[in-house]
Amino acid sequence: MDANSIIALVVVVVILGGGGAGAFLFLKARREKEQTRIEAMTPEERELHDAIVEHEAEVKAATKAHQVELKARENRLKSAQKAITAADGIGNRKLASYRGKDGSVSVTETLITTSHGTFALDASVNAVVDTAGNLATSSRSTLTRIASGGILLGPVGAIIGGVAKKNKLHDTRELYLLVEGAGFATLVTCNPDDGAKVRQFAVVVKQAGLNAANVLDRRAQSRAAAQSMLETETQNTEGVDATAAALEAVQTSTVRIEAAEKALAITSGAADSVSE
């Protein structure tokens, strides 16, 4: 099929609205034309053609292998980085929270956040829920000591000063949440109906404090392992280097093409001499 026939076929297909079928017919016709051209080649021309086709196929395969290895290494590096992120997130899971009349408190596996700041948990952290009167009686020395040190945050003055007034009436249902650690303390006025809720919160806080060291150790170990994996993958370029070398070798391997070009040049020169 010559070029004019191909053009005529395409025009007919377009006119008839062949769509996908038209594209298929066009490609089929083009392949047939190429096959006819190849069959008309001399042996030397055919050898050069085949050498070029073979070389292009080898370069394409080597390029794909290199790209696959690059992608695989990229994925390994991303996985290692994700592992570091995941390790850094250990201990950040929120366990519970409570909002009182004058502030809120929330606790994760390693931190407690109050209206006055965020503090690290450890085994020294304690949480107590009680009435103003009981706190002022059972924890008066503690409250006074912490208040004088300027690290108690919250309505401590109302408790100590209020209870000191003998003639002041107190709501026996009024509750306070006192949370204290080695370097912080906070006091939250609770809603009277939140007794069970806030006591459960206090249990969570104390248990989190006891578990915090183990959680931090697990975070450190996980991060160290993830960091080691990332460093290993960063240094591991063996696969990428090997496929890059293989690609370069294929690209520069043109012995067959060069031999075919020489043979074709010889036969072409001989043919020119005969024609002269």
Tell me the per-residue pLDDT of 119-137, one tens digit each, with 9 for 90 and over: 999 999 999 998 877 776 6
Measured at the CA of 138, the angle between CA 104 and CA 102, to 5 degrees, comes to 20
pLDDT tens per residue across all 276 residues of the chain:
454 554 555 444 444 455 667 777 878 888 888 788 878 888 998 988 999 999 999 999 999 999 999 999 999 999 999 999 999 999 999 999 999 988 899 999 999 998 878 999 999 999 999 887 777 666 555 555 555 555 444 554 545 444 434 444 445 567 889 888 887 888 889 988 999 999 999 999 999 999 999 999 999 999 999 999 999 999 999 999 999 999 999 999 999 999 999 999 988 776 555 555
Q: Helix %, strand %, coil % for the chain, to 5?
A: 65, 15, 20
Whether the CB-CB separation of 156 and 147 falls below 8 Å is answered with yes
pTM above 0.75, yes or no: no
The sheet carrying 185-190 orders its strands as: 126-131, 175-180, 185-190, 152-153
d(CA 201, CA 212): 16
Give the model's pLDDT for residue 226: 96
